[in-house]
Amino acid sequence: MKQILLLLTAFFISCSVSVPHNAPVTTIAKGVDILQQDYEISKGGERLLTKLFIFDVTLSNRISLKATTADDSNTAICSSHERNTAIAPISKQLEMMQLNNKQIKVLGGVNSDFFHIKSSNMICGVMYRNGECLKGSYDDQSTIFALLKNGTAVCVTSAEYEVMDKSLILEAVSGRQMLVNDNVAQSSESKTFHPRTAVGVTKDGKRVFILVADGRRKGYSNGLAYADMVAIFKKLGAYDALNLDGGGSSCFSINTGRGQFAPLNRPSDKSGERAVPNGIAVIYRR
């Protein structure tokens, strides 16, 4: 499948040029497509390309999302700095989830939360898994992506999260910057280009776009600024979208067969995939 996907490179051009309506996609399950595209950025007066990888997920009784942990257990997530949160590359987290859950097929996934990488690896935001709140505190920059028990998804600010009925949340991970809120682009001071991971949802919450952009690789991929992510999610049709942990954490991993997973993108760390606390898995219920 990896060889097929690598052939499906199309141009996803920025706001100044229209986006092709018939960009090639690869369907990996009914309701799950992978888009692998080039996006043109303007940086220092140059027009440069950034590699995009997108899961286009239509939620249903069979297709859903799950929060991952290093060892596929809830105890891996710590709610304080008192002990270290377990970390593992996303590909390994997906492999462990597949090994422990024969009733589902794990199709792929990405990294999610910002975390205290130089200390305890504690995640910065809230997290839910299988309806259980694993961490209820968050920093004041947090945003939340949640899958609800009715099968729809939401991206919310911390203020919106505070007034939510928490009993409705099935899975949740956290980000920081809100990119699109109630169909309105959110401004940001940042003009820097980095590898990125982000997620967006349609107004009805039934369609989810999970994006990874490669960066810090001159001549291959240059990353995205916040404004670029806003433009991309607006073009995709997201009503709400938020930014997840990026940089060396950004990883777009796919099922390569026999319960194994590997990045489709090129993580920017020289050592390859970075070990992280959690992620978002795309799953098919058998």
Tokens of residue 96, six digits: 């462990």
> Where does the pLDDT of residue 23 fall: very low under 50, low under 70, confident under 90, or very high at 90 and above?
low
pTM: 0.91
Taking the C-alpha atoms of 152, 155, 157 and 160 in order, what is their torsion angle to the nearest 10 degrees? Answer: -10
Whole-number Å distance between alpha carbons of 223 and 170: 32
- What length does the chain have? 286
Strand partners, 72: none
Q: What is the pLDDT of residues 67-78, one digit of tens each?
A: 999 999 999 999
In contact, 87 and 277? CB cutoff 8 Å: yes
pLDDT digits (tens, 9 = 90+) for 93-139: 999 999 999 999 999 999 999 999 989 999 999 999 999 999 999 98
**CA neighbor of 231 nearest in space, from 188, 169, 282:** 188
Give the tens place of pLDDT for each residue, 156-210.
999 999 999 999 999 999 999 999 999 999 976 668 999 999 999 999 999 999 9
**CB-based contacts of 20, cutoff 8 Å, min separation 6:** 10, 11, 12
Could you tell me which of 233, 260, 256 has the C-alpha nearest to residue 244? Answer: 233
Which amino acid is located at 139 in the chain?
A: D
Neighbours of 229 (CB within 10 A): 27
Contacts of 77 (CB under 8 A, 6+ apart): 69, 85, 86, 123, 127, 129, 134, 135, 277, 278
